[in-house]
Amino acid sequence: MQNTCIIIPCYNEDERLDSKKFLQFLSQNEYHFCFVNDGSEDRTYDLIVAIQDAFPDKVTIVNLSRNRGKGEAVRQGFLDAEATGKFDYIGYFDADLATPLEEISYLKGYFQKDYKIIIGSRVKRLGAEITRNSLRHYLGRVFATVASIHLGIKVYDSQCGAKIFSCDMAKILFKEEFVTKWLFDLELIYRLKKYSPSDFEKDILEVPLRIWKEKKNSKMKVIDFILAPFDLYKIKKASS
């Protein structure tokens, strides 16, 4: 699967990045990883360099000199991966592996049906192991409802940090910088809707994850949910 690159944005991940899980996965799979060090001030860079040293043909690093925010870190990783011309698919997963790396192949399998974007969704259901903080879950449901109405997008979980794009679509959606810091996931979906309104629901598929476990020390706070309506306005205005 070396035709697939997964971007891992990293900001002060010293206590959350499990190097052993990445090393084990890389030893058993042919995916490529691009770690983006987003101006970390701890040992994050040293950790990802050690992973690259173990698998130099499967790992690249983009090192940002200052913190640019998760959205821009992901975008820089996409631009770097796309510039190589090596990949048919480019995605991103969170560094804390709340979504296990094994879900990459699960999500990628849906591209057989000609979708351009596959996004993971944290849906609690029988047979799935979805562990979330109750407050964050309910705040997320309120936000998803407001976002769906405001932007006219029928999405259950836009903020799940597990998404994979065809490279051709990634070139279009990641070309411009994002106007929001935390809602870039939703901004990407809205960009797709504006770019291809007639084929929007044919190009994107939301897939319930089999496993997702919330990790400690999340960088998104309750205040970010409170400020979300202002960001929704910015997203709609920027694409009008």
Q: Domains, the chain, ranges and CATH?
A: 4-238 (3.90.550.10)
Please list the residues that pair with 12 across neighbouring strands: none
Burial degree of 52 (CB within 10 A; 0-12, 13-18, 19+): middle
Q: Which pLDDT score is estimated for 224?
A: 66
Per-residue pLDDT of the chain (240 residues; tens, 9 = 90+): 569 999 999 999 999 999 999 999 999 999 999 999 999 999 999 999 999 999 999 999 999 999 999 999 999 999 999 999 999 999 999 999 999 999 999 999 999 888 999 999 999 999 999 998 887 777 778 887 888 888 889 899 998 999 999 999 999 999 999 998 788 999 999 999 999 899 998 999 999 999 999 987 666 665 666 677 788 888 988 866
Where are the strands (E) in 2-152, listed by range? Answer: 4-10, 32-38, 59-64, 89-93, 117-121, 129-131
141 vs 69: CA distance, rounded Å = 24
Half-sphere exposure of 182 (CA within 13 A, CB side): 17
Q: Which pLDDT score is estimated for 144?
A: 79
Q: Which pLDDT score is estimated for 228?
A: 75
Q: Which pLDDT score is estimated for 223?
A: 62
- Show the tokens assigned to 107: 């999500």
Inter-residue contact 60 to 83 (CB < 8 Å): no
126 vs 204: CA distance, rounded Å = 24
CA 1 distance to own-chain centroid: 19
108 vs 105: CA distance, rounded Å = 5
Q: Which pLDDT score is estimated for 213?
A: 95
Structure letter (DSSP) for residue 214 = P
CA 128 distance to own-chain centroid: 20
Inter-residue contact 41 to 12 (CB < 8 Å): yes
Please list the residues that pair with 204 across neighbouring strands: 117
Q: Which pLDDT score is estimated for 149?
A: 83
Coil, strand or helix: which one is 26? helix
Q: What is the CA radius of gyration of the chain?
A: 17
Q: Which pLDDT score is estimated for 1?
A: 54
